[in-house]
Every structure is written in C-alpha cells, then in structure tokens.
Chains A and B, each alone.
Chain A
Amino acid sequence: MEAPAVGQLNGRRQEPRTRRKNPNRAQARMGYTFSAGYGILLILFGLLPTLYAIFLAFTHEGAFAGLDNFVRVFNDYRFWPAVQHVAVYLVIWLTFQTIFVVLLALIVHAFGARWLSVSTRFVYYIPGALAGASSVMLWLFILDPSVSPVSGILRALGLDSFVETVSIENLPVIFTIIAFWTGAGGWIVIMYGALNNISQEVMEAARVDGAGTVKTAWHIQLPLMRKWISYMGIMTLAAGTQLFVEPRILSQASKGVVPGDYSLNQLAYLYAFKQNDFNGSAAISLILLVVALGLAAFFVFRGGLFERE
C-alpha cells in the first residue's frame, strides 16, 4: 500500500512540489480504496482456501507429512474407479457438447427470419434456469420409466425400471444429457455471438467463390470460431472434473444403486464428512483444484481470448 502523498517532504523526485495533490497519487489511492473490498474477498475466498488446502494436504495433525496424504488417497480402493468414472464422462460430454453446440449455432445463425432465430435460441437457453439440484430432479422423472413422458423410448432401449436406467454403465451418458440440457443453450448463444462477429464481406467472398453452406462453415466459420470452441472445451473440462450434484442426488434417489463415491468430489466430501479426514479431503480437493487452475492459467496466458491491452 502506498503512503499518502501529503506531508512527504523528501520524496526522491527533484521537481519542486506544488501544494496541490499529485493527481496520479490521488488516482492510485482511489484505485486501492475501490479495490479493497474485492481484494479482501479474493484473499479470503480465493487465496486463503487454496493455501489452507495445500497446508492440510501436506500435513498430518499439524506436522509435515510429505506425500503421505496423497499416497493414502491413491491407495484408496475408491480413488481410481472415481478417476475413471469422471474421465469417461468427460470424454463423452466434451465430444457431444462440442459437436452439437457448434452445429446448432451454425444452423440457428443461418436462419433468415430473425424472430425464428431469436426464439430458437431462447428455447435452447431456458433449461439453464434449472441448474443444480432442480435439473437433476427433473431428469429423475424423465428417466423413470413408470412416470416418464418418453417411457416408450426407455423401454425400447430395454430399460424397464428406474434402477435399470441408472445402472453404472449408463451414468456417463445420463450426466452428459443433463449437463447438455442445462448448459448447451448458453454456449449456443455465445457461439452465435462469435458467428455474428464474422464480417459479411468474408462470407460474401466465399459465396462468390462458389463455396456452399457446408464448405463455408468448414473453411471459414469454424476456423474463426476456434478460440471460442477451445474456451468452451476448457470450461467444460474444468467443470466436468468437479462432478458432484448429479451423482449425489441420483445416489440418494436410487438408494445406493448409484454409489456415493462415484466422482472425485464425492470422495473428497466423504473424506471430510464421513471419515473426518480433512487432510485426505484436502489432498483430493487440491488435485482437482490444480487441474482447474492449470486449465484456466493456460487459457489466460496462451488462449488470447482475454487480450485487451
């Protein structure tokens, strides 16, 4: 923090000091004043929890424990299956989301009638209002053949009961559907915005050269959307590793058919709440946090989406 300029008589600078406050000093002081509240929150809920998690992960009862906590977690019979569950889900979700968000954005952007484009985008966006527990709850009904509006489809797939539907090998697909249903609309809107930023001249030139809709999309629109697509990929990856609400509620609803330790975050939760092992919990949280941080930092410093200065 800078000391106030007033009353500083022997500053380094040799210019004659005037009575008036130096405007840059005043500005800097205001910058700090205006940032103080947010800065405190950033320290309390950004930096400190991270540091405390690091401290807990590498200590045991206050004494330095090296990698012991990590070794214990890695040797937990539940850990690697959880990693595998999350990884499979991520691959499926990422693929599905990338293909269909881009495809739908291109289609909606090609609509000539404005009202149609606006209303379609809004319809895609609405499910975003049901995030968290509500969306999982809704999909519980849809997935239960006894009440589902699409029970015909479920039965055609050979799923005659709720327990069959949520069997463990179906979960990655189910979580993908739920995540896509709630989140895709927002991304489609973002991609639509990116498509709108492509200049008309470029599109026109492509058409004069005889490129059809598909060729134009492939050779012009997609490359110009690349930044946004990779942004979506990063965010999807980071969010997917954190999987918690969906398996937790399904586990509650299926009386343990879906295990309570399906995802890594659930495992970290169990460590803290069921085993009272805060060190192990911190170790798992830290692994997840480092993954998210790595993805975010890579994108900020290499992605170029946020270059403004």
Chain B
Amino acid sequence: MSANNAVLTRDRRTARSPRGWLGRALAIVVALAFVVFFVLPLIWLLLAPTKTPLQLLTDNPFSFGGLGALVDNWQSLSAFQNGIVWTWLGNAAFYSGAALVLTLVVSIPVGYALALTDFRLRRVLLVTTLVVMLIPNTALVLPIFLELSAVRLIGNPLSVILPFSFFPFGVYLTYIYFSTSVSRDLLDAARIDGAGEFRVFWRVAMPLATPVIALVGFFNFVGNWNNYFLPFVMVPGRKSPIQVGLAELLSNVPLFNPTSASTVNIEVPTLALATIISVAPVLIIFLFSQRFLVSGMTAGGTKG
C-alpha cells in the first residue's frame, strides 16, 4: 500500500499536520488488519483441499499442494457413504429452490397490497410483519418443531420448505420498494382506463418489480441455504441439506473424533473441500451481486 497519501483525500487540511497524518496511518493499519482477518481464513480454506493430510500439518499453510491431492480428496468425499454428499447438496438445492419460488409468489403480492391498497387489516399485518421480522428465525425453530410434530409432518420436505417460505423481511422489503417507486396516482390512472385491480398490479407494478424480486430472492436463498438449526431438527439423516450433512461429516474425522467407527475416514483436507462445496453456490451469488451488496441499499438486510 504505497498509496497512503492518495487514499484519504477528504480533508487535505487536517492531513498536513503531523498528528492528522499519524491518525490516518493508524486508520489504514486498522482497516488493513481487518482485511487480513476477514480474508486469511478463506484463502487458507481454498488452498487446504489441494493438500494431503500430512502436507497440511507440515507445509506452509498458504502454499498450493497439488492437483493430485485435490483429486484424491474429491474421491474420498464422493466415496463417503456412497456419495451421500451429493444427496445432501441435492436436498439443499431442492429445499432452497422450492422455498425461493414460494417466497416470491407469496411476498411480492402482499408487499404490493400493503404499500398501495387500503384494507382494514393492513396496519395490523404491517406491524406484525415488522415485529416478526426482527425476531431471529432460530427463536421459532423449536416451537415450529413442536407444532409440526403434533401434526406428524417431521421428516417431510414440507416441514422445511414451508417455514423457509415464511419471510417477513422480504415482505417488508417489497413494501418499502413499492411505496417508494410506484405512485398511487399511476395506479389510479390505470384504473380510470378501466383496468381491473389484478390487471393494474400485473401491468403497472410488476414490470417495475425486478430489482426487489432480485433482492428478496437473494436474501431468502442465502439465508435458507445456510440455515442449520431448522433442517437439523426437521429432516434428519438422508434428507438433510448440506449444512447439516457437514456436521455429520465432522463426526467422522479422526483428528477431531478418534472414536469414529466409520468405514471411510474423512481427513481434514476432505472436510475443507466439503466446506467449500457447501458454500459454493452462495459464494458465487455473492461474487456476482457484489455491486449491490456493498452499496448500502441493502440496509437492514442482515439478520443474525
């Protein structure tokens, strides 16, 4: 980083004094230290599967092992319980994908209705949505489990897909978007032209909705793909999505669990590979949507 001086150009005047200069140097050091903190583990993770277990212990942690080791790790991961990893991945894709479609079908209309139409329960629905949106989704997992086990739905894909599709935050985003980007006058104009309510929605609001569909879809998919607790209690075993499967793999790693009695032992580099595979779809989505991710328009988009 030789661009020290060009980096902070906002206030040239304070920059000239030695104290100001020192402060800026300190700020840059802090920012850089955190860059290292956030990135280093990821880089290590990406390199780990290219090594044999022995190389992982002895080589430089940030060296590239070799393609041979990568192929070996890939094969031992695929061999684990006859390729159950791919089943888990398929499950995750199915649950998150089905929930994504259902979420959009449900959330976009209600967001529109909350923003642009008047009906008696509107305020109640809006306030309820806000409150539920602020509750961490883990808080409802066990109550939902108790409820669904009362109706014997545990183990059924619906027990994951339906809760995944209940997405108050998406409804709130849609509501904000429609109330700021579509005016009631525009809708009234369409009504005067004789369009029915549904036509107004379909011809006027929907063509404008692409950004919010992308936004809601993004948060819903990423959140569901990475969800551990809910599928962990609802769909154990072969029906697990990859995040839950990952923990299952972990109990077969001798390093962490010498007592494991599995026919196939999973070594650390293989587990690292599984970790990469488990987040690959989300990472790819992140890389493609980086422009809007860091713009700040996603304010409120992170929920613990």
Contact = CB atoms under 8 A, between A and B. Distances in A.
A259 interface: no
Interface string A174-208: 00000101010111011011101000000000010
A134 to B, nearest CB: 5
Nearest to A27: B117
Contacts of A28: 117-120
Contacts of A212: 11, 14, 20
A34 B113 contact: yes
A50 B226 CA distance: 24
Contacts of B145: 272
A103 B23 CA distance: 13
A186 B301 contact: yes
A270 B31 CA distance: 42
B259 A37 contact: no
Interface in A260-298: 265, 268-269, 272-273, 278, 281-282, 285-286, 288-289, 292-293, 295-297
B272 interface: yes
B86 interface: no
B279 to A, nearest CB: 5
A295 B134 contact: yes
Interface in B55-107: 56-57, 61-62, 105-107
B290 A122 contact: yes
Contacts of B41: 127, 138-139, 142, 149, 181
B197 to A, nearest CB: 4
Contact of B132 (A42, A192, A196, A281): A42
How large, as a class, is the contact surface on chain B?
35 or more
Contacts of B42: 126-127, 130, 138
Contacts of B263: none
Interface in B158-203: 162-163, 165-166, 168, 171, 176, 179, 191, 196-198, 201
Contacts of A168: none
B158 to A, nearest CB: 11
Contacts of B235: none
Task: Name the residue among B6, B35, B117, B150 with the largest chain A CB count within 10 angstroms.
Answer: B117
B138 A242 contact: yes
Given A31-B122, A124-B38, A289-B139, A38 B146 contact: no
24 contacts: A24-B118, A31-B118, A39-B125, A49-B140, A126-B42, A128-B286, A129-B279, A132-B228, A147-B61, A183-B304, A240-B304, A252-B247, A252-B256, A253-B250, A253-B253, A255-B257, A265-B138, A265-B142, A273-B233, A282-B143, A292-B135, A292-B136, A293-B135, A300-B127
